[in-house]
Amino acid sequence: MELTFQILVGVATLMLAGLGTMSMFAPKRMVGNFAIEPVGTAGLSTIRSVIGGLFLASVALLAIGLVTGQTLGFLAVAIVLGVVAFGRIVGIVTDGFDKAVVPPLAVELVMIAVLVGAYTQLAA
């Protein structure tokens, strides 16, 4: 079971690394993925810094946990993803339902479950 969680956290880490790297270094390519339209240089900077930074900081926390066995960072990333998922739910309630929101919400909820499960199983 421990190996399974390590693999699942590794997959989540790679997914977040891809999103973070693309957001940081190719923000124009991420516009469609995030359904946002940056306004000028400041908008691109926001994609790079806020979105890319959030993902890459999460990657750092997950990588530290995988390498050192200190898995508290898994909970930190689960909390961040939980707030992101909560924001999507608030959006559905206040702005209306859009089926495009369902896949990323589902991925976030699965990642939260994996990270909390991994923390529980792998906590040193």
- Residues spanned by the domain of 98: 2-122
Say how far apart CA 12 and CA 100 lie, in whole Å. Answer: 21
Domain count, the chain: 1
Name the pTM for this structure.
0.91
pLDDT in tens, 9-38: 999 999 999 999 999 999 988 888 888 888
pLDDT tens-digit series, residues 51-89: 999 999 999 999 999 999 999 999 999 999 999 999 999
